[in-house]
Structure 1
Amino acid sequence: MARMADRIREKLRDNLAPSVLDVIDESRMHSVPKDAETHFKVVVVSQAFDGLGRVQRHQAVYRILKDELAQGVHALSIISKSPAEWEAEAAVPASPPCLGGSKSESQGN
C-alpha cells in the first residue's frame, strides 16, 4: 500500500492540477507511534481556487481526501492559494508545537 503522503499528493495533483504542491508529514511532531502517518500539512496552489473563499477551498480539499481522512489522517492543515495569491506571498507559516497530551500522560506516568 502506498504511503499516506503519496496518496494525498496523487489525489490533490489529479484533482486540482496544482502549480505548487507540497505534502508535509508532521506526525513526528505529535504524540503518535513511530511511523504513524496521521498529521499532515498540505500547500496547494491551483487555478481551481480562483474566486473561492478559504472555506470553499478547504471543503474542496476535504472532499478530495475524504477516504484518507476516514482511514487514519487525524489532522490536516491546509494552505490553499490561487496562483496570483502565491505570487504575491509564497510564505508557508511554521506549524505550532503540539499542545496535546504526551504518551506518558496518557499512560498515567
Structure 2
Amino acid sequence: MEKLSAALSPKVIDVINQSEMHKGHSGYSDGESHFAVKIVSDIFEGKSRLARQRLVMDALKAELAGPLHALSIDAKTPAEAG
C-alpha cells in the first residue's frame, strides 16, 4: 500500500488478498500471490481504464516481477466512486 500511496496519492485504497481463493492453481505461493486493489485517486481523471491500470502496475513493478502472480485493479476518480 505504501508504494501505491506514494505514487498515486489515493483518497481511498483497499488491497484485498485473494490468494486463498486460488490455492492449488498455477501461480499460488504461500498465500501472497493474488490480490485485488480498489483505488480512488484524482490522478485518474481524464485517463482511460488501461492508462489507470498501467499507473497502478508501474507503482508495483517490483512486486509484479516477483511474488505477485495476479492483480485485479479497480481504479476510479472520486466522481466515479461517488
TM-score, normalization by structure 2: 0.90
Opposite residue 41 of structure 1, the aligned amino acid is A
1:74 corresponds, among 66, 69, 72, to 69
Structure 1 residues 60-81: Cα deviation after superposition (integer angstroms, max 9, x where no partner): 1111101000111000000000
Q: SS state of the match for residue 84, structure 1?
A: helix
Number of residue equivalences: 78
1:17 corresponds, among 6, 9, 12, to 9
Q: SS state of the match for residue 63, structure 1?
A: helix
Q: CA deviation at 1:36?
A: 2.2
Structure ID, larger Rg: 1
% identical equivalent positions: 49
1:29 corresponds, among 16, 21, 24, to 21
Structure 1 gaps of 5+ residues are: 1-8, 88-109
Moved over 4 A (4+): none
Q: CA deviation at 1:43?
A: 0.4
Per chain length, whose mean CA-contact separation is higher, i.e. which structure has more relative contact order (CA < 8 Å, sep 6+)? Answer: 2
TM-score, normalization by structure 1: 0.69
Opposite residue 62 of structure 2, the aligned amino acid is D
Relative to total residues, which structure has the larger strand share, 1 or 2? 2
Partner of 1:90: none
Structure 2 gaps of 5+ residues are: none
